[in-house]
Amino acid sequence: MTANARSFRSMDRTLTGFGIPPCTRWWDPTLERFLDDARLQTLAAEVGRAGAKSHTLTKCGAHQVLFGDWRVPPRERHYFAFVSENKSEASQRLRLLETILRTLEVPFTRAGDEIALDEKPLGFRVFACQIGAVSGFRCIGFAADEVAKWDSAGANPAAEIIASLRAMTITHPNAREFIVSSPVGKAGFHFELCRSKDPAVHAVNAPSWIANPDAITEAETRRRERDPRIWAREYAAIPQDAALSAFDYDDVERAFRHVQITRRERFGRAFVVTDWSGGKRDATTWGLAQWWYPAIPFEAYTHQVLFDGNAPYWQERDSTPKQKLIAIHEGYPPLRADFKGETKPFLFFREIDGVEGRYWGEIDSDELVGRVADLGIQWGATDVFGDQFGSVFLVSGINRRRLNFIELAWNATNKTFGVEHLRALFRERRIVFPPAHAKLRAELHSFEEKISASGGLTFQGRGSTHDDYAILAIQAAVADLEGHLDGSPTRRSTGGRRFRSYDEDVPT
């Protein structure tokens, strides 16, 4: 029996009889077409997360070794290679391979990251995605998993690693390549391979619930991931544009609004966020915010106030689903419906300020620290947040004024988590900014999410635009995720600290 669709299906049925899950209803016909067409050498697949990729690739590797017709020179051993994002992922392939070989009663020896068949000069080896690792031995084929997300020293090494693997199969013209990943951006080796016109490439695409329909539903993926951009990449298998606005335009616009506060509101303790610059080109910015629990939810209001020029007038609230949130204008409290129950909290930015341009040498740094500290003291804040650059300027000055400076690690991971959390706050309409702050509004609109060369995400203002005010909102989101903010619904508890009442001695 040769390594074709028939032998693969026979092997899969045998494994299923011993409790190993079978190939899914999508993978089975996909592999049938690939394995039965001798002209096809590469299977290039974009498949959503949990789409049974790794499980299927491991079976494919076992099938190629056990059923393929491979000629190996005396005293040599040739391998089927598995390359994954990291060594831990790669090692999982060996554990399933051991199970498959024992089930099929194929004798083997396991040594480290290698499995050698006892009765054939063949075996399996696993590697992390590093160029130096995939060289020095002969291959009869290979499987590369999550290729679009490989990262080595800040770049995606997929092109170099695949080229090296192909060179290792040069003595086996029938060697098969399985190159599979959930997509990231509309660029890079994997994206281009999946759109190749090469007749030897079989390119396929499947969302998670299509590739693994018995285990996953589309509704479940949407429930687990509410960020539409991440959901599209990770589950719907839709590559992202190389550069996109990080935040939805309408979501940002809705966050800039006047609010009316009654004496029955609850607030978490105020905090200050800062983005410090060297005083040359970028601005030094700071803002004060706190979690706010309104006494009446926005959805309970029955009328809204609109403006004709400068003259206000009342209009009954639109009851269509598109208009669930209304504008509340300071000084003109809208009529409201009776309401009893809990309200959802808002991250409320009370003040945002900054110093722009080349101020270094004109404004003393301690004076700026004093402005930041005074704002916090005015509102009863105890914590000031900033990145590692700002800590150089702020730690001593903030602590001297009896406030606590907390350094937030400003790196790619925290930026990504911060942007995703802030995007969720926008989407759920749980963040409020001063409506008159045009620069913050403009920076949030122009803030971009880009796909880097390694397949990771980078964030910055579009073109030459600044992002010093937008960074404040992202830092607040990072501080919230790390559990620093009093009254935050993100925290499981408030750590024993009570809410600050609006009746306490704070500015009104």
Q: Which domains, from first to last, does the chain contain?
A: 5-240 (3.40.50.300), 249-295+343-498 (3.30.420.240)
Region 375-379 average pLDDT = 91
pLDDT in tens, 169-195: 999 999 999 999 998 877 788 988 999
Using pLDDT thresholds of 50, 70 and 90, give the confidence band for residue 392: low
Name the strand (E) or helix (H) holding 271.
Answer: strand 271-275
Predicted pLDDT at 200: 94
Region 235-247 average pLDDT = 78
- Find the range with the poorest average confidence among 131-135, 373-377, 400-404, 465-469: 131-135
Region 330-347 average pLDDT = 51
Region 232-251 average pLDDT = 81
Q: What's the CA gap between 426 and 254, in Å, rounded?
A: 8
Predicted pLDDT at 3: 85
Tell me which DSSP letter residue 182 carries. Answer: -
Name the strand (E) or helix (H) holding 316.
Answer: strand 311-316
Using pLDDT thresholds of 50, 70 and 90, give the confidence band for residue 61: very high
Q: What's the CA gap between 10 and 302, in Å, rounded?
A: 66
For residue 392, report the phi and psi dihedrals to the nearest 5 degrees. -60, -40
Bridge-partner residues for 458, per DSSP?
A: 450
Tell me which DSSP letter residue 449 carries. Answer: E
Higher-confidence residue of 332 and 347: namely 347
Residue 414 has pLDDT above 90, yes or no: no
Identify residue 473 by its one-letter amino acid code: A
Higher-confidence residue of 429 and 205: namely 205
Label residue 192 left, alpha or beta by phi (over 0 means left) and psi (-120 to 50 means alpha).
Answer: alpha
* Contacts with 177 (C-beta within 8 Å, 6 or more apart), sequence order: 41, 42, 43, 141, 142, 143, 144, 162, 165, 166, 169
Q: Is 471 exposed, middle or buried (0-12, 13-18, 19+ CB in 10 A)?
A: buried
Name the strand (E) or helix (H) holding 80.
Answer: strand 78-84
Instruction: Provide DSSP, 396-409.
Output: HHHHHTT-EEEEPP
Tell me which DSSP letter residue 133 carries. Answer: G
Residue 421 has pLDDT above 50, yes or no: yes
> Model-level pTM?
0.62
Using pLDDT thresholds of 50, 70 and 90, give the confidence band for residue 491: low
Name the strand (E) or helix (H) holding 458.
Answer: strand 457-461
* 103-131 CB burial, b ≥16 within 10 A, e <16: eeebebeeeebebbbeebebbbbbbbbbe
Average pLDDT, whole number, for the chain? Answer: 80
Label residue 202 left, alpha or beta by phi (over 0 means left) and psi (-120 to 50 means alpha).
Answer: beta
- % of residues, the chain, pLDDT over 70: 77
Q: What's the CA gap between 46 and 417, in Å, rounded?
A: 24
Residue 427 has pLDDT above 50, yes or no: yes
Q: What's the CA gap between 120 and 66, in Å, rounded?
A: 9
Higher-confidence residue of 284 and 304: namely 284
Residue 307 has pLDDT above 80, yes or no: no
For residue 270, report the phi and psi dihedrals to the nearest 5 degrees. -65, 155
Higher-confidence residue of 430 and 300: namely 430
Q: Which two structure tokens, joined as six digits, stand for 471?
A: 């960074």
HSE-CB for 389 with a 13 A CA cutoff: 9
Region 475-497 average pLDDT = 75
Name the strand (E) or helix (H) holding 141.
Answer: strand 139-145
HSE-CB for 438 with a 13 A CA cutoff: 0
Region 462-473 average pLDDT = 76
Predicted pLDDT at 336: 38
Residue corresponding to tokens 């609010």: 259
Residue corresponding to tokens 């509102």: 379
Is-contact 210 237, C-beta < 8 A? Answer: no
Residue 447 has pLDDT above 90, yes or no: no
Residue 342 has pLDDT above 50, yes or no: no
Predicted pLDDT at 321: 33
Q: What's the CA gap between 455 and 147, in Å, rounded?
A: 9
Predicted pLDDT at 328: 40
pLDDT in tens, 214-239: 999 999 999 888 888 889 889 999 88
Predicted pLDDT at 479: 93
- Find the range with the poorest average confidence among 98-102, 144-148, 315-319, 472-476: 315-319
Q: What's the CA gap between 480 and 488, in Å, rounded?
A: 7
Predicted pLDDT at 340: 41
Q: What's the CA gap between 434 and 425, in Å, rounded?
A: 16
Name the strand (E) or helix (H) holding 477.
Answer: helix 468-481
Residue corresponding to tokens 């999550």: 146
Residue 410 has pLDDT above 60, yes or no: yes
Residue corresponding to tokens 């939810």: 297
Residue 463 has pLDDT above 60, yes or no: no
Is-contact 158 44, C-beta < 8 A? Answer: no
Predicted pLDDT at 316: 53
Q: Which two structure tokens, joined as six digits, stand for 426?
A: 């926008």
Q: What's the CA gap between 347 and 325, in Å, rounded?
A: 16
Predicted pLDDT at 503: 31
Predicted pLDDT at 70: 94
